[in-house]
Amino acid sequence: MICYPTFWNAIIDKQNIELRKGKAKKGDDAVFQCGRRIVRGKIIKKEEGSLTGVLRKDNYKAMIPSANSLKDTIGYLKRLYSDTNGTFTAYYFESARAILSV
């Protein structure tokens, strides 16, 4: 389950990359749930690597739309994941707006 701002950003096309710690999971379906609301989408690309390898100046806004800089994004992720070493996966997904289920 995800927080409301992340859920809403996925619906209104502000966020189309989801960053998760760990290796890529199998499957091509993205599911975002906030309470009883569910948004489904298709994963179109997966990118694995270190945090600084998958999080770059050209894509940080698509991961954390409220961030003002790459440095802000890294700071946010360090608070979210106390350990930022290891493998991270960026899941690129198509617009979820058209496939909202309530």
Q: Which two tokens stand for residue 85?
A: 């070493």
Which tokens in the block code for residue 58?
């050209």
- One-letter amino acid for residue 27 of the chain: G
Please give the tally of structural domains in the chain.
Answer: 1
Confidence of residue 5 (pLDDT cuts 50, 70, 90): low
Residue-wise pLDDT for 25-83, tens only, equals: 999 988 777 777 777 778 999 999 999 999 999 999 888 888 899 999 898 888 888 88
Report yes or no: 21 and 86 within 8 Å, Cβ to Cβ.
yes
Give the CATH number, domain containing residue 69.
2.30.130.30
CB-CB contact of 13 with 95 (8 Å)? yes
Residue 39 structural domain: 4-101
**Residue 32 neighbours by CB under 8 Å, 6+ apart:** 2, 6, 7, 10, 38, 39, 40, 41, 96
Q: Are 90 and 43 in contact (CB under 8 A)?
A: no
pLDDT for 2 equals 47
* CA atoms of 70 and 57, how far apart (whole Å): 6
